[in-house]
């Protein structure tokens, strides 16, 4: 295909041209160059608009992670400073920080923590450590709720730059 019709986010259409296919005799060369330039300028601006997202978590999720962070600290001090509890404090603290943050890149911590929590749950059940397994089960449930209930909204930067929501 020599020509391609591209729809931009604002609803207009642009015509793209594949220069590797030879041109037909009906179009003038200066028209083809202006269309290619316009399409590449439009396509380069799309990537920046998609990164302007703000992640908002539910208040119940935020309070649940605050409580789990405090519980993990008590568990660390009451269980004589086990190495497993150090890893648990690290994961829980990072997830609590990411839930309080509104950056869209912070979703990586709950995803990583859910993977670690599911594996730890299986290991603790296998080793008959029932209190640790119960704690990891609660962490896994709250992680699934966290990842299922977050909302994305445009950030203030994208609203000010474009002036509209979409």
Residue 13 structure tokens: 């259409």
- 89-104 pLDDT, tens digit per residue, is 999 999 999 999 888 8
Reduce the DSSP state of residue 49 to 3 states and report it.
helix
Tell me the C-alpha distance between 30 and 28, whole Å: 6
Instruction: Give percent of the chain above pLDDT 90.
Output: 42
DSSP state of 107: G
Per-residue confidence (pLDDT) for residue 69, from 0 to 100: 93
- Which letter does DSSP use for residue 23 in this model? P
H and E: helices and strands count for the chain: 7, 4
Which residues have a Cβ under 8 Å from the Cβ of 11 and sit 6 or more positions away? none
The two beta strands, 13-17 and 3-7, are antiparallel
Taking only the tens place, the pLDDT of each residue in 104-137 is: 888 899 999 999 999 999 999 999 999 999 999 9
pLDDT at 88: 92
Domain ranges in the chain are: 3-44, 54-154
Asked if residues 68 and 142 have their Cβ atoms less than 8 Å apart, the reply is yes
Q: Is the pLDDT of residue 45 over 60?
A: no
User: pTM of the predicted model, to two decimals?
Assistant: 0.60
pLDDT for 30: 54
């Amino acid at each position: 295909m020599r020509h391609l019709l591209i729809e931009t986010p604002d609803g207009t259409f642009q015509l793209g041209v594949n220069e590797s296919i030879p041109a037909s005799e009906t179009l003038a060369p200066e028209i083809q160059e202006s269309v290619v330039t316009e399409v590449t300028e439009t396509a380069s601006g799309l990537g920046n608009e998609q990164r302007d997202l703000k992640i908002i978590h539910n208040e119940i999720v935020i309070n649940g992670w605050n409580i789990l962070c405090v519980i993990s600290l008590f568990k660390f001090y009451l269980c004589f400073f086990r190495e497993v509890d150090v890893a648990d404090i690290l994961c829980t603290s990072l997830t609590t920080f990411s839930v309080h943050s509104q950056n869209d890149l912070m979703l990586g911590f709950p995803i990583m923590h859910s993977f670690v929590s599911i594996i730890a749950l299986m290991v603790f059940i296998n080793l008959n450590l029932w209190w640790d397994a119960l704690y990891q089960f609660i962490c896994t449930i709250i992680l699934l709720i966290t990842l299922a209930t977050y909302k994305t909204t445009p950030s203030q930067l994208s609203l000010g730059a474009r002036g509209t929501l979409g």
